[in-house]
Amino acid sequence: MPSKNRNFINNEIYHVTVRRQDGRLMFRDDDDYHRAVVSLTVFNDRQSVSIWNQRRRLVQGQTLHKIPLVEILAFCLMPNHMHLLLR
């Protein structure tokens, strides 16, 4: 159940869970797990992210300069949900 208090404080640690409402699987195979891990890193950026621009820059060997939104301390991907430990 979502918390009613959504006043987040900087430098505090938060346990976040994500689950599908209908109870179906979030991750069916290794590709789904891989996509989730890549998405956690690519989209954790204060700047707008275009996956096509990110891919083009990586193929060209350019480094990606990111300003992360949160610090991902730990994560656990389960077939029907995931846990994130964030600061």
Query: Which residues face 76 on adjacent strands?
Result: 83
Instruction: Compare 46 and 36 and report the one with higher pLDDT.
Output: 36
Handedness of CA 66, 71, 77, 80 (dihedral sign): negative
Instruction: Compare 71 and 67 and report the one with higher pLDDT.
Output: 71
Asked if the model's pLDDT at residue 81 lies above 80, the reply is: yes
Confidence of residue 18 (pLDDT cuts 50, 70, 90): very high
Residue 82 CB partners (closer than 8 Å, separation 6+): 17, 18, 26, 36, 75, 76
Locate the DSSP E strands across 1-87: 14-19, 72-77, 81-86
pLDDT above 90 covers what percent of the chain? 49
Amino acid at 23: G
State the pTM of this model: 0.74
pLDDT (0 to 100) of residue 4:
61
pLDDT (0 to 100) of residue 3:
58
pLDDT (0 to 100) of residue 55:
75
Average pLDDT, the chain: 86
